[in-house]
């Protein structure tokens, strides 16, 4: 029977492969729906090409996008799960092995020397986001976040007095500045919190983890999500910037309580190839792998 360490690595490798080969199921369904509602023919051509690309990647078990992203794990670690201190090293090795086996393009570059590590690992990569909970299992969501969606990301700290009034303008200007760079149709994640790092983290989770079509549980926030989605899709950017009425598949907002004097806002994009997959590993060595 394989050790629990090997089980964790195999589960991690499975979700790295799965997420690299296809966008999430809700995203694929949203792209299919976009073809039905898009009225601008050049954008319809782009959307159909995207869907064909996804079918070919799945057929040949190849990376769905040449930018195989920054390897990122969102982890929920139960108090009773036996492996804790070794977890990061196990997941790093899983990324290293899949990079060579699938293969994946390596996107880990030393900022000083410009040397690429060649295996998608390095100082601070993979990226790990860990939450602890009262349980005995490990849950991992893997998402590779591409560079084109990071380049137009924005962060602001504004006075709280008129922050909600300013939010739509900040978001729309960010989408206009981004243009075709993040490979629309995009998912726009917005985070609100006490400081920049919290707002940016919430924005990233909103962009890559929430299913298309989901709404914030706060009905007032949900209304803002709908209004922003409608406004963005009136900008006419369209698929890959070719024009049309589907620039964003969705807009998601997540928030945390803030300092009385500050209102931090993060805006993060996720592209049409929003990829994620989940694994749950139990202490007896059993595990489940599920697309998201």
The domain locations on the chain are 4-22+64-146+274-291, 148-270
Asked whether residue 86 carries a pLDDT value surpassing 80, the answer given is yes
pLDDT in tens, 128-138: 999 999 999 99
Asked whether residue 1 carries a pLDDT value surpassing 80, the answer given is no
Summarize the confidence of residues 107-124 as an average pLDDT: 97
What is the architecture of the domain spanning 4-22+64-146+274-291?
2-Layer Sandwich (3.30)
Q: What is the pTM of this model?
A: 0.95
Can you tell me which residue has the tokens 């009773």?
A: 80
Band (pLDDT 50/70/90 cuts) for residue 2 is confident
Beta-carbon count within 10 A of 164 CB: 12
Question: Tell me, what's the pLDDT at 290?
Answer: 82
Question: Tell me, what's the pLDDT at 288?
Answer: 96
CA angle 9, 13, 16 (to 5 degrees): 140
Question: Tell me, what's the pLDDT at 292?
Answer: 78
Summarize the confidence of residues 156-161 as an average pLDDT: 95
Q: From CA 107, how far away is CA 145, in angstroms rounded?
A: 10
Note whether 175 and 120 are within 8 A (CB): no
Asked whether residue 264 carries a pLDDT value surpassing 90, the answer given is yes
Percent of the chain exceeding pLDDT 90 equals 98
Q: From CA 189, how far away is CA 227, in angstroms rounded?
A: 14
Contacts of 270 (CB under 8 A, 6+ apart): 145, 149, 182, 186, 187, 189, 207, 208
First to last CA, the chain: 29
Summarize the confidence of residues 201-221 as an average pLDDT: 98
Question: Tell me, what's the pLDDT at 220?
Answer: 98
Residue 135: strand, helix, or coil: coil
The token duo for 173 is 């200007």
Q: From CA 14, how far away is CA 23, in angstroms rounded?
A: 15
Question: Tell me, what's the pLDDT at 211?
Answer: 97
Note whether 244 and 233 are within 8 A (CB): no
The token duo for 180 is 């075709």
């Amino acid at each position: 029977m394989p050790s629990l360490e090997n089980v964790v690595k195999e589960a991690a490798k499975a979700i790295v492969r799965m997420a690299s080969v296809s966008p999430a199921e809700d995203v694929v369904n949203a792209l299919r729906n976009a073809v039905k509602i898009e009225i601008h023919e050049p954008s319809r051509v782009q959307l159909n090409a995207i869907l064909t690309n996804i079918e070919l990647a799945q057929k040949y078990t190849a990376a769905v996008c040449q930018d195989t992203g920054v390897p990122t794990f969102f982890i929920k670690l139960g108090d009773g799960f036996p492996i804790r201190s070794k977890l990061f090293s196990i997941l790093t090795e899983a990324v290293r092995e899949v990079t060579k086996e699938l293969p994946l393009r390596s996107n880990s570059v030393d900022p000083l020397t410009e040397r690429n590590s060649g295996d998608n690992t390095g100082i601070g990569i993979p990226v790990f986001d860990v939450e602890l909970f009262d349980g005995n299992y490990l849950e991992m969501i893997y998402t590779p976040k591409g560079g084109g969606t990071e380049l137009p990301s924005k962060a602001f700290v504004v006075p709280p007095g008129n922050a909600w009034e300013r939010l739509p303008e900040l978001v729309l200007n960010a989408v206009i500045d981004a243009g075709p760079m993040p490979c629309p149709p995009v998912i726009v994640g917005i985070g609100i919190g006490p400081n920049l790092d919290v707002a940016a983290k919430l924005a990233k989770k909103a962009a890559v983890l929430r299913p298309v079509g989901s709404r914030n549980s706060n009905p007032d926030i949900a209304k803002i999500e709908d209004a922003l989605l409608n406004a963005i899709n009136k900008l006419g950017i369209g698929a890959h910037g070719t024009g049309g009425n589907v620039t964003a598949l969705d807009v998601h907002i997540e928030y945390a309580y803030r300092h009385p004097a500050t209102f931090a806002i993060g805006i993060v994009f996720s592209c049409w190839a929003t990829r994620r997959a989940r694994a749950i590993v139990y202490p007896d060595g059993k595990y489940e792998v599920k697309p998201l």
